[in-house]
Amino acid sequence: MNRTFAQLLLGSPRTIAGTVYGTIVVLAALAAGGSAFEHRPWELVTVVIVTSVVFWIAHVYSHGLGESIALGHRLDVSELSAIARRELSILLAVVLPAFALVLGAVGLIGDRAAVWLAVGVAVATLTAQGVRYARVEKLGRVGTALAIAVNLALGLAIVALKVAIGH
């Protein structure tokens, strides 16, 4: 697997939380906007990306506020920049699903197929994170299956919501 592609899909050991969080944000944006923007694919791309950016900014702000209070001083630019870089995986989680949506927007695949491809990429990302966790914990087959199931539960609940709302 290409290293850049793998990093976008999997994140890194230090960024797994942001990858999972960002992926769930993408799924939520797709669930909310998939049907509403079904025939306006560029608008859906924009909604998914902007939603991810807004949540990333909120995440960086809230962590910055928390660290400022914990440290007892206002954060300087380098401290705030370190938080923004650490949480960048939230934004990176949108790249592959947004690319899938762009494939639909430019007409290489159908609009509906693009949305489902984006959902599929997000679900694959959550599955991969469950596998990574199981490997670190040296879980057996049952433990691995349970780790994947738990990791997918929230993401698939959002997919189920999309299906219920969209049909």
User: DSSP secondary structure string, 121-165?
Assistant: HHHHHHHHHHHHHHHHTT--HHHHHHHHHHHHHHHHHHHHHHHHH
Question: What ranges in 34-110 are assigned the alpha helix state H?
Answer: 41-71, 77-86, 88-92, 95-105
User: Is residue 56's pLDDT more than 60?
Assistant: yes
**What is the distance between the alpha carbons of residues 162 and 146, in angstroms, rounded to a whole number?**
24
Q: What is the mean pLDDT of the chain?
A: 85
pLDDT of residue 73: 93
Q: Pseudo-torsion of CA 5, 95, 154, 3, nearest 10°?
A: 10
Q: Which amino acid type is present at position 90?
A: I
Residue 1: per-residue pLDDT: 57
* Average pLDDT of the segment spanning 139-153: 83
pLDDT given for residue 31 in this prediction: 83
Please tell me the predicted confidence (pLDDT) of residue 128: 86
Residue 63 or residue 165, greater confidence: 63
pLDDT at 100: 95
pLDDT of residue 117: 94
Q: Considering only residues 137 and 87, tell me which one the structure prediction assigns the higher pLDDT.
A: 87
pLDDT reported for residue 9 = 61
Of 83-87, 91-95, 137-141, minimum mean pLDDT range = 137-141
